[in-house]
Amino acid sequence: MAPINAYFDGACWPINPGGNLAYGFYFEDQSGELCYAAGDLYEWADPKQGSNNVAEYYAAFSLLKTLVELELQNEKIIIHGDSKLVTNQLAGNWKIKAGAYVAVAHKCLSILTRFSNIAFKWIPREQNAVADYLSKEPLKKLGYIAK
């Protein structure tokens, strides 16, 4: 059976670090049909701690949480992202070191234990246009990014 392909992206705007954070993600069913998409703002307690890495990780966490809520954790899943940091750390290729993203990274690792067949794949930004759009749309609605 074909895997579920999932995509995520995060945005920090207008400055990084310290900007407004948003995330977006979507996934396709095994036939390649879009079956879920979401994008929203991430309310960070201390804006000075917000960064693109935090936004990317929050996007991954929101995606993982949604997959669990929809009871898809036993399906074969490939998660694609244009963040080398997030995809390599969650795949276990790189260590999680220090930074504002660490707390969210550990939340991702915790939820990953619920999945039976999941993989992470880095993709170039150009191949992640839909997730990028979903992550920036909430910022556009509030006027942070010009439409």
| Interval 73-120: pLDDT, tens | 999 999 999 999 999 999 999 999 998 899 999 999 999 999 999 999
Rounded distance, CA 46 to CA 80, Å?
28
Asked whether the beta carbons of 23 and 95 are under 8 A apart, the reply is no
Question: Which residue, 38, 28, 93, is CA-closest to 60?
Answer: 38
Global pTM? 0.93
**CATH number 3.40.50.1240 is the correct assignment for the domain at 4-141:** no
Could you tell me how many helices (H) and strands (E) the chain has, helices first?
4, 5
Residue written as token pair 């966490």: 61
Rounded distance, CA 145 to CA 1, Å?
40
